[in-house]
Amino acid sequence: MYTIFARDDIRNETTEINTSFSIVCSVGSYRCFGNTIMFCQDPLNWTFIKKCEYMCINGSCIPFPPGPSEQGGGGGGGPVLLTASMELEYPHNINIQKGTNITFFIKVSNNGTSVLHNIYLMLTSDNPGVVIPEITVPVLEQNSSTVFAVTIESMKAQVGEYEISFLVLSDETYKKGTVVVNISSTEEIDYQSLIDYYFSLIDYLEKEIRDAELKGKNVTLARKSFLGVIDEFEAAKRLFDMKLYPEFLKQIEVVRSKIVECVVYLAKAKPEPLRVIVTFPDYKTFLYIIAVVVLAAFIAVFVLKKMNEWRRRRELIMPRRWGF
């Protein structure tokens, strides 16, 4: 609740005006009221924008995923039932010390029987200090996965426990998730825990890159970025070993940002096009092959010639049984 005052600079007096008001919104923001989107044109009022047909989340209309669709199977085998489904893998509880930033992964796997399109991550709770990637994965094939990196900046968040609610959406379906975050005000930072945490994060990221490569994706940029992550992490460990903790915290933040960059490259990795590789032998090998082929042809002609001569000689020597 706010009160308006009038100021008279000539008399050097301030007079209270008997009118009070409350600021209800931040100008330019959107908000869901049930299934209705409202817009803040001025800080005193919400303005109606539209009513969502299905669901309103975080100031936007989100459609419910369509049900399973039927598509005709080839060769008279009847309809094939296609289901759009995704599975999420992420930490459900995270503990952070005030003054440090933490990045965690949300892995999205397509465990349905249809291809997913335009997959992206959206926050559905108002959490200051939470940064999500503004990236859309255009295609996610069956039995494939992608990873999103979410960062919690503890300096912008309040000490205590709260929930981060999010939504992973595609054109075909969506999945909800919740992470419980506990930010403590411990004055002494556990540097070893930071080393261990980022070591496990890097190990996880390496496995995801390897898995994407085995499934035929071009991970060249992701691998190059990952090598940068390793270099920066080794530098952070050296600072930790020398007990240069302020410098270590700065360096571990570099590691974190490099990890986020690597995850973006991995999410953008596309399947490698099928290529037919024709290899030609070198000059000496080529001459050797020609010589072998010529020799084999010469032997074949020689053998055939000798067989024909032997056949004629045999016909001359053998007597005829019938005298016609």
The DSSP secondary structure of 119-176, one letter per residue, reads: EEEEE-S--TTEE-----EEEE-TT-EEEEEEEEEGGGS-SEEEEEEEEEE-SS-EEE
How much of the chain, in percent, has pLDDT values that exceed 70?
78
pLDDT at 68: 42
User: According to the CATH classification, is domain 83-188 in 3.40.50.720?
Assistant: no
Query: Edge-to-edge strands of the sheet including 30-33?
Result: 30-33, 36-42, 45-51
**pLDDT tier at 6 (50, 70, 90 boundaries)?**
low
The larger pLDDT score, comparing residue 112 to residue 24, is at 112
pLDDT in tens, 229-261: 999 999 999 999 999 999 999 999 999 999 999
At 18 the pLDDT is: 53
How large is the average pLDDT for residues 184-192? 82
Return the sign of the alpha-carbon dihedral for residues 266, 271, 273, 276.
positive
SS3 190: coil
- Considering the chain, what is the average pLDDT of its residues? 80
Domains of the chain, residue spans = 2-57, 83-188, 190-274
For residue 75, what pLDDT is reported? 46
Strand ranges, E, within the chain = 2-8, 13-21, 30-33, 36-42, 45-51, 55-57, 60-62, 69-72, 79-82, 86-89, 93-97, 101-110, 116-123, 130-131, 137-140, 145-153, 160-169, 174-184
Q: Read off the pLDDT of each residue in 191-205 and give the average, rounded to a whole number.
A: 93
Backbone phi, psi, residue 159, to 5° = -70, 135
With a cut of 80, say whether residue 37 has pLDDT above it: yes
Angle of CA points 138, 140, 146, to nearest 5°: 95
pTM of the model: 0.63
Q: Band of the pLDDT at 222, cuts 50, 70, 90?
A: very high
Q: Are 256 and 153 in contact (CB under 8 A)?
A: no
Query: Looking at residues 38-67, what average pLDDT do you find?
Result: 73
Q: Which residue has the higher pLDDT, 225 or 30?
A: 225
Cα separation of 175 and 69, whole Å? 19
pLDDT of residue 229: 95
Q: 266-291: per-residue pLDDT in tens?
A: 988 888 775 655 565 666 777 778 88
pLDDT of residue 162: 86
Does residue 223 carry a pLDDT above 80? yes
pLDDT attached to residue 282: 67
DSSP conformation class of 63: P
- How remote is the C-alpha of 208 from its chain's centroid? 9
- What six digits make up the tokens of 287? 């001459």
At 62-101, the pLDDT tens digits run: 765 444 433 334 444 444 456 888 999 999 999 888 888 8
- In angstroms, what CA-CA distances link 143 with 79, 146, 213, 237, 245? 22, 11, 14, 36, 43
Tokens of 124: 């559905």
> Apex CA 93: angle with CA 88 and CA 94, to 5°?
110
Residue 127 confidence (pLDDT) above 70: yes
